[in-house]
Structure 1
Amino acid sequence: MSFLFSLLSRLPLSILHNLGALLGWIVYLASPTYRRHLRENTAQAGPWAVAARAAAIAEAGKGLLELPYIWLRPQAQVIGQVMRVTGWELIEAAWREERGILLLTPHLGCFEITAQYYGSFRPITVLYRPPKLAWLQPLMEKGRGTHLKLAPADLGGVRSLMKALRRKEAVGMLPDQVPGRGEGIWAPFFGKPAYTMTLAARLAESDDVTVLLIHAERLAYGAGYHVVVQPLGAPLAETLEARVAQFNAALESLIETYPEQYLWSYNRYKAPAGALPPGADAGAGA
């Protein structure tokens, strides 16, 4: 499989995206579980998400087949696919003020390229979970720029993120990734409780950390990417629970702007093994 990955990486991005659109439909038609998650999640979000289903199926396939290009091409070629950048002045302002930066990147567009783009300028530490397929691990680690460091989703990784922020560097994470038991709380996401990580909300507590949303819109016809940086949109909430809900609400607004590029097939509403159900009293399960 690694050999196939290497072969795919040599294809132009436009061809990979065309093949990916076809692959997206093949996976959708072949997998009842995939199909169910996508249909349920779009229905939960609303009619605007349902209307984007067909496009989202194709975009999910593009996201899969662009990985060989993003991971295995030289960094200069990967970064060269970023055709437009909006909101970068927000990052430059944090640099001038010597603040740490917390970059929240949902499963939207090409979420692999955002950290690589930032890492072409300054150091960034990214929280990640090792892939279930072991052969992907070395490929994932290879496809990183000089300034991009990986922090595993464990206690050691959390320490790495905290140290990076204290050095006034950037950290990145997928805030809509379902955390493990004890690492999250239930918070609304498109009107339904979703087990949501608290780590991002905890890291944002520091007075010298700037919280920003960042994503890379996938341009049509394999024309590259548009990196967009946005502010949180409101003052940071005071309590942990309120911040978690605030982050989810910010992601909702972002996803509603680009519904066809969100990974609707991700099982966002699953509960990790042993986690109490929404609204359950913690003491009742003791």
Structure 2
Amino acid sequence: MLSFFRLLSALPIGLLHLLGAVMGWVTFALSPTYRRRFIANARQAGYGFGQVHAAVGHAGRMVFEMPRIWLGRLPPCTMVNEEVALRAYAAGRGILFLTPHIGCFELSVQDAARKWAATHGEITVLYRPARQAWLAQILETARNRPGVRAVPTTLAGVRQMIKSLRKGHAVGLLPDQVPPQGLGVWSPFFGRDAYTMTLAARLALQTGAAIIVARCERRSWGRGYNLFLEELEAPLSPTLEVAVQEINAAMERTIRQCPEQYLWGYGRYKQPRVDPLVSAATASQQEQA
């Protein structure tokens, strides 16, 4: 499987996107469960299928571009509004890059690391170790590319993220990812309660890090990507539950800027799983709150 991934990583991004778009529509056609969830999630946000149907192909593009982003030469990416990050770095503040499941979110951290890691330190990201040996091998290579440091969803991993932010370095998170039971709260997302991680809000409140919302959009015909950076509209509330709601609202705003590249098929409203690997991290967060 690793050899297959390496083969895909050598293909042009345009070809990968073409293959991915076809696979996205095949999956949509063959999976009633996925199709219902896609349409229901889009409707919850106020979109009809005709408004976001392009997201079907983009979901497939996301899958097929992964080998290139993880193992191959990074494709061209233009950063928009990079001064918001430069101001935070100049002030000596840590940066919490937050991106929802939109566009090529894997490239967001890679491009930021390519641009700033040499002068401002590695960007730390959180990951859950894969159970399959072949996937774990791929992720070990992919998540630790130059300028990126991957830490596990454990007490030690959370502590490393806090340490990095307090040093003035950056951390990347997907705040719309459903966390395990005990690491989130139920909070509105497009008008419906979704189990939402508290980690992003806790990290910002504990370290004073600047929050920057990132959105990496695909250009048409495999011509690369645009990485948009935006500051929050206002500082986070010191109350954790309110801060979580504010982060959800920020994710909604950035999704509405490019709804045709959001993963509407993601199970955002599912029940959280029970994961013993994060129990220590849960206790640590509660102690430090």
Q: Give the TM-score normalised by the residue count of structure 2.
A: 0.89
Specify the alignment match of 1:245 in structure 2: 245
Superposed, 1:113-128 pairs within 5 Å as: 113-120=107-114, 121-122=116-117, 123-128=122-127
Specify the alignment match of 2:61 in structure 1: 62
SS in 2 for 1:196: strand
Specify the alignment match of 2:90 in structure 1: 96
Deviation at 1:195, TM superposition (A): 0.2
Deviation at 1:81, TM superposition (A): 1.6
Specify the alignment match of 1:264 in structure 2: 264
Superposed, 1:68-217 pairs within 5 Å as: 68-73=67-72, 77-78=73-74, 80-82=75-77, 84-120=78-114, 121-122=116-117, 123-131=122-130, 133-143=132-142, 144-206=144-206, 208-217=208-217
Deviation at 1:213, TM superposition (A): 0.4
CA contact (8 A) 1:213 1:230 kept: yes
- The residue type paired with residue 96 of structure 2 is L
Deviation at 1:138, TM superposition (A): 1.6
CA contact (8 A) 1:128 1:173 kept: no
For residues 51 and 135 of structure 1, the distance between their equivalents in structure 2, rounded to whole angstroms, comes to 38
For residues 65 and 197 of structure 1, the distance between their equivalents in structure 2, rounded to whole angstroms, comes to 27
For residues 31 and 44 of structure 1, the distance between their equivalents in structure 2, rounded to whole angstroms, comes to 20
Segments of 5+ residues of structure 1 without an aligned counterpart are: 276-286
Deviation at 1:204, TM superposition (A): 0.9
Deviation at 1:136, TM superposition (A): 1.7
For residues 183 and 167 of structure 1, the distance between their equivalents in structure 2, rounded to whole angstroms, comes to 24
Q: How many aligned positions are there?
A: 269
For residues 126 and 274 of structure 1, the distance between their equivalents in structure 2, rounded to whole angstroms, comes to 22
CA contact (8 A) 1:101 1:165 kept: yes
Specify the alignment match of 1:17 in structure 2: 17
- Name the CA shift for 1:274/1:125 in 2 (closer, same or farther; >3 Å): closer
SS in 2 for 1:233: coil
The superposition leaves residues 239-262 of structure 1 with CA deviations (integer Å, 9 ceiling, x where unpaired) of 101000000001101101100110
Q: Percent identity?
A: 46
- The residue type paired with residue 125 of structure 1 is T
Q: Give the TM-score normalised by the residue count of structure 1.
A: 0.90
- The residue type paired with residue 118 of structure 1 is A
Deviation at 1:132, TM superposition (A): 5.1
For residues 274 and 19 of structure 1, the distance between their equivalents in structure 2, rounded to whole angstroms, comes to 35
For residues 8 and 151 of structure 1, the distance between their equivalents in structure 2, rounded to whole angstroms, comes to 26
CA contact (8 A) 2:187 2:196 kept: yes
- Name the CA shift for 1:56/1:94 in 2 (closer, same or farther; >3 Å): same
For residues 81 and 66 of structure 1, the distance between their equivalents in structure 2, rounded to whole angstroms, comes to 13
CA contact (8 A) 2:125 2:150 kept: yes
SS in 2 for 1:236: coil
Deviation at 1:134, TM superposition (A): 3.6
- Name the CA shift for 1:12/1:274 in 2 (closer, same or farther; >3 Å): closer
Deviation at 1:119, TM superposition (A): 1.4
Higher-helix-fraction structure: 2
Specify the alignment match of 2:283 in structure 1: none
CA contact (8 A) 2:215 2:254 kept: no
For residues 24 and 18 of structure 2, the distance between their equivalents in structure 1, rounded to whole angstroms, comes to 10
Specify the alignment match of 1:36 in structure 2: 36
For residues 273 and 261 of structure 1, the distance between their equivalents in structure 2, rounded to whole angstroms, comes to 26
Deviation larger for 219-228 or 126-135? 126-135
Deviation larger for 98-107 or 142-151? 142-151
SS in 2 for 1:228: strand
- The residue type paired with residue 76 of structure 2 is Q
CA contact (8 A) 2:126 2:157 kept: yes
CA contact (8 A) 2:218 2:225 kept: yes
Deviation larger for 117-126 or 15-24? 117-126
Deviation larger for 266-275 or 210-219? 266-275
Segments of 5+ residues of structure 2 without an aligned counterpart are: 276-289
Deviation larger for 18-27 or 115-124? 115-124
